[in-house]
Amino acid sequence: MIRPWSPLERTGVAVLGAVLLLMAWSIFRVPVVSVDGRTLWGLHARVLHDAGRYPAAELSDPGFPIPHRQYPPLLPLLDAIALHALPTDPALRLVPWLFYLAIAAFLFFELPRRDPERGRLLALAYALLPTLVLSEEGGADAGVADTVLAAWVAGAAFLLDAGRPLGAGLCAAVAALTKNEGLVLGTLLMASAYFRCGHGQRQVRPVMLAGAAFAVPLLPWLWLRAALPAGFDERYVSLLTLERLASGLERAPEVVVEMIRVAFLHPQRSGLFWWMVVMLWTTSSRRTASLLEGRLLILPAYMAILVALYVVSPWSGVTQVQLSFERLLLQVAPLALLGLTPPSGRPIIPV
Amino acid sequence: MSAWRRNAWLGVLGAALVLIAALGADALVALAARAYQRLPMLAPVFRLDHERQVRALHPVVAGLGGVALLAYALASRRSVAVWPRLLALRGDARERLRTSAAAAVVLYSILLVPIRATRDVLRERALTGLAEDARRLRLYGVHTLEPDYGPIEAFRRASGGKGSLLVARGGPRGSFDDVFVASYLFPQRVFVRTGSACTTDELPRFRAERPTAAWVEWACADGTFAPIPIEPR
């Protein structure tokens, strides 16, 4: 049974209300500041809106300077729809913000059911995350895709928990159509269906179903993407060679330390959020269940992949970590909260 | 345990905030500026922005610290344990610890919200009355790699947003500068022609390659952004 609201929860919701009003006001008053918001997602959206079709001719024109022309099209597509009704800057900032609202509302609905003691606090911890509220480059109203991706990833995890592998696969596919990282996170999520999908445990069938639903919508997109020329792309997949990994190993410790600093030590970024995740997991009586059935294991697996990508990054030193890692953490923050609170009342692996 | 000890967290929080405020606005600005030593790319605009924010936040920090100290004294004198009441804690020690951890995160985040509020209010004050393009010019340039948007805006006005711009570059590849220019000028189109010799002899070939181009910007050497019209055929 969900307990009565505590004074801190009431205060938190009131503050969140004020923050949402402030964000809404800012969205309609202040232009897009984020560099990625205006030169990447914004430019893609405006080109798409102007052309009225995807892919726009400019995407195939090597002379048109558009960054990451092979990026997935979902956010630009949604932005382009918003551009029909709104001026440029509010439209570009509004769409990702609506996804942030959706995640917050979903967590306020779902987490108290899973964890009556702390559910509301966990939802507040997400909704008031300093990166989301404060960051001009990666915040909820910055006009970038990480919150949109986080919504689809959380949706896929929730549907797996609910025993809906097909829906989960489709959600994961939409995640991959939102950001390239969605391909990695989607694959990890689909693999996690083996440990539990609804009530079922240790089954290959949900993995196959979810995997098929994940792959089918992506194939046309991957085929289409292959025809687009590269443009200011880091092309990480092609950089992931044994040779580059071996030569990049010497900066791996530096990369890992910087990732830890961004996650745990920078007060204006994740604040205390990831401290809380680690603390709640280590003091949980269902640690193993959280890792496997709660899919929390996806987080360290994803971090390991990110370390490999940062190590082969063409950016010098740890610059890329400093510029992007707080946003990458946002992609998995809702998933972490779902993982910490695997649904109760269902058979789980005993610790 | 006495209420004074149980509420020690509130006393420590209040004292810490008061001590931070006691450093003075100048010292806090210097501390904030240090944050950019690790991320020089984002320094130019944010540094100025943050200096104003820090100065505006200084009395807020002092006030919050004072209120926390006052609450500590009043609650402790009345033997009220603030934390368990604030959280409506229940359950065994481990459950209370876990709830406290989640609550600490929320409380910390709440304390950071004034940063966002001061940023938005100060910014709005600085932008009030400006037209949309002027607002953009004030806010863009957050990245040290970004170009000076002044001449680009001057070109946008001079060209009336009409006619494509061809950027002629000597090297084999485009520059990210071109992305900044293209995103700023859109829907006016920008195209890049690499491997250019950057001489007017090339103009007939450019005209043939890009019939919609009405302007050319010679970007073979570093210099001011100053496109010239391509003469009609």
Q: What is the 3-state secondary structure (H, E, C) of chain B?
A: CCHHHHCHHHHHHHHHHHHHHHCCHHHHHHHHHHHHHCCHHHHHHHHHHHHHHHHHHHHHHHHHHHHHHHHHHHHHHCCCCHHHHHHCCCCCHHHHHHHHHHHHHHHHHHHHHHHHHHHHHHHHHHHCCCCHHHHHHHHCCCCCCCCCHHHHHHHHHHHCCCCEEEEECCCCCCCHHHHHHHHHHCCCCEEEECCCCCCHHHHHHHHHHCCCEEEEEECCCCCCCCCEECCCC
Residues in B touching A137 (Cβ below 8 Å)? 42, 142
Of A100, A105, A111, nearest to A135 by C-alpha is A100
Q: Which of B124, B132, B191 sits opposite A64 (nearest CB)?
A: B191
In angstroms, the CA A343 to CA A294 distance is 8
In angstroms, the CA A122 to CA B6 distance is 24
Looking at residue B36, what is its pLDDT?
62
* pLDDT band with cut points at 50, 70 and 90 for residue B32: confident
Tell whether the model's pLDDT for residue A253 goes beyond 90: yes
Q: Which of B86, B117, B132 sits opposite A6 (nearest CB)?
A: B86
Q: Which helix (H) or strand (E) holds A118?
A: none
Among A47, A128, A316, the strongest candidate for a mutation testing the B interface, having the largest count of B CBs within 10 A, is A128
The β-bridge partners of B168 are B193, B218
- The pTM for the full model equals 0.93
More confident residue, B171 or B56: B56
Residue B104 structure tokens: 């600490």
Distance from CA of A333 to the nearest CA of B (A): 14
Residues B75-104: pLDDT tens digits?
999 999 999 999 998 889 999 999 999 999
Residue B169 contacts A, CB cutoff 8 Å: no
Among A121, A137, A233, A283, the strongest candidate for a mutation testing the B interface, having the largest count of B CBs within 10 A, is A121
Distance from CA of A21 to the nearest CA of B (A): 11
- Tell if the CB–CB gap between A279 and B123 is shorter than 8 Å: no
Q: Where would I find the beta strands (DSSP E) of chain A?
A: 196-197, 200-201
- Tell if the CB–CB gap between B91 and A31 is shorter than 8 Å: no
Q: Which residue of B has its CA nearest to A38?
A: B183
ipTM of this complex: 0.92
Q: What percent of chain A has pLDDT over 90?
A: 75
Residues A257-316: pLDDT tens digits?
999 999 998 877 888 999 999 999 999 988 888 898 889 999 999 999 999 999 988 888
* pLDDT band with cut points at 50, 70 and 90 for residue B46: low
Looking at residue B51, what is its pLDDT?
81
Of A163, A200, A192, nearest to A297 by C-alpha is A192
Residues in B touching A25 (Cβ below 8 Å)? 120
Q: What percent of chain A has pLDDT over 70?
A: 97
Residue B57 contacts A, CB cutoff 8 Å: no
Across the range B139-145, mean pLDDT stands at 77
- Tell if the CB–CB gap between A280 and B98 is shorter than 8 Å: yes
Residue A48 contacts B, CB cutoff 8 Å: no
Of B201, B205, B200, nearest to B229 by C-alpha is B200
Q: How far is CA B136 from CA A31, B41, B104, B121, in A?
A: 6, 19, 38, 17
Q: Which residue of B has its CA nearest to A130?
A: B109
> Which strands make up the sheet holding B213-218, listed edge to edge?
B190-193, B164-168, B213-218, B228-229
- Tell if the CB–CB gap between A65 and B106 is shorter than 8 Å: no
Residues in B touching A273 (Cβ below 8 Å)? 105
